[in-house]
Amino acid sequence: MTHNVLVVDDEPKLCDLLASALSQNDIVVFTAGNGLHALKVLECEDIDLVISDWRMPGMDGPQLLAEIKSRFPQLPVIVMTAYSTVKNAVQSMRNGAFDYIAKPFDIDELDITVNKALQFRDILKDNQRMRAELDEHRQIDSLIGDSPSFRRVLHAIDSVRESNATILLTGESGTGKEMVARAIHTHGNRADKPFVAVNCAAIPEGLLESEMFGHRKGAFTGAVADRVGRFQQADKGTLFLDEIGEMPLALQAKILRALQERVIEPVGDPRERKVDVRVIAATNKNLLDAVANKEFREDLYYRLNVFPIPLPALRERVEDIAPLARHFAHTLGAAAGKRFSGFSPQALQAMARYSWPGNIRELQNCVERATIVASGAVIEEEDLPAYLFASSANGGGTLIAEGSVPADLEAALAEVEKTYILAALAQSNGVQAAAAQLIGISERSFWYRLKKLGIHVDKIVR
Please write the tens of the pLDDT for every residue from 12-26.
Answer: 888 888 888 887 777
pLDDT of amino acid 89: 66
Strands 227-228 and 214-215: antiparallel
Candidates 41, 27, 35; CA nearest to 64 is 35
Q: What span, in angstroms and rounded, lies between the C-alpha atoms of 64 and 70?
A: 10
Of 130-139, 298-307, 330-339, 356-365, give the lowest mean pLDDT range: 130-139
Q: What span, in angstroms and rounded, lies between the C-alpha atoms of 176 and 311?
A: 8
Question: What is the tally of structural domains in the chain?
Answer: 4
All residues at 6 or more sequence positions from 204 whose CB lies less than 8 Å from its CB, including other chains: none
Sequence letter at residue 437: Q
In a domain, 133, yes or no: no
Q: What span, in angstroms and rounded, lies between the C-alpha atoms of 369 and 357?
A: 17
pLDDT of amino acid 459: 41
Q: Are 250 and 350 in the same domain? A: no
Q: Are 59 and 122 in the same domain? A: yes
pLDDT of amino acid 458: 55
Q: Are 440 and 350 in the same domain? A: no
Q: Are 157 and 64 in the same domain? A: no
All residues at 6 or more sequence positions from 337 whose CB lies less than 8 Å from its CB, including other chains: none
Query: For residue 438, what is the domain's CATH number?
Result: 1.10.10
Q: Are 286 and 410 in the same domain? A: no
Q: Are 394 and 435 in the same domain? A: no
**Comparing 357 with 403, which gets the higher pLDDT?**
357
Residue 248: is its pLDDT beyond 80? yes
First to last CA, the chain: 64
Q: Are 122 and 158 in the same domain? A: no
Among 349, 367, 398, residue at a domain's last position: 398
pLDDT of amino acid 137: 45
Among 312, 339, 369, residue at a domain's last position: 312
pLDDT of amino acid 309: 97
**Comparing 129 with 305, which gets the higher pLDDT?**
305
Q: Are 76 and 219 in the same domain? A: no
User: What pLDDT band is residue 131 in, cutting at 50, 70 and 90?
Assistant: low
Among 398, 421, 437, residue at a domain's last position: 398
pLDDT of amino acid 447: 82
Which domain, by its residues, includes 441? 404-462
Q: What span, in angstroms and rounded, lies between the C-alpha atoms of 48 and 176?
A: 38
Candidates 45, 23, 60, 51; CA nearest to 116 is 51
Strand stretches in 238-341, DSSP E: 238-242, 263-264, 273-274, 278-283, 307-310
User: In degrees to the nearest 10, what's the CA dihedral of 95, 99, 103, 108?
Assistant: -170
Q: Are 387 and 450 in the same domain? A: no
Q: Are 287 and 379 in the same domain? A: no
| Whether the predicted model's global pTM rises above the 0.75 cut | no
Query: Please, which residues bridge with residue 283 across strands?
Result: 170
Do residues 52 and 78 lie in contact, with contact meaning Cβ atoms separated by under 8 Å? yes
All residues at 6 or more sequence positions from 101 whose CB lies less than 8 Å from its CB, including other chains: 78, 79, 80, 109, 110, 113
Do residues 72 and 42 lie in contact, with contact meaning Cβ atoms separated by under 8 Å? yes
Of 82-96, 185-199, 256-270, give the lowest mean pLDDT range: 82-96
In a domain, 210, yes or no: yes
Do residues 265 and 272 lie in contact, with contact meaning Cβ atoms separated by under 8 Å? yes
Q: Are 149 and 211 in the same domain? A: yes
Q: Are 151 and 292 in the same domain? A: yes
Q: Which three-class secondary structure string do you get for 160-216?
A: HCCCCCCEEEECCCCCCHHHHHHHHHHCCCCCCCCEEEEECCCCCHHHHHHHHHEEC
User: What pLDDT band is residue 258 in, cutting at 50, 70 and 90?
Assistant: very high
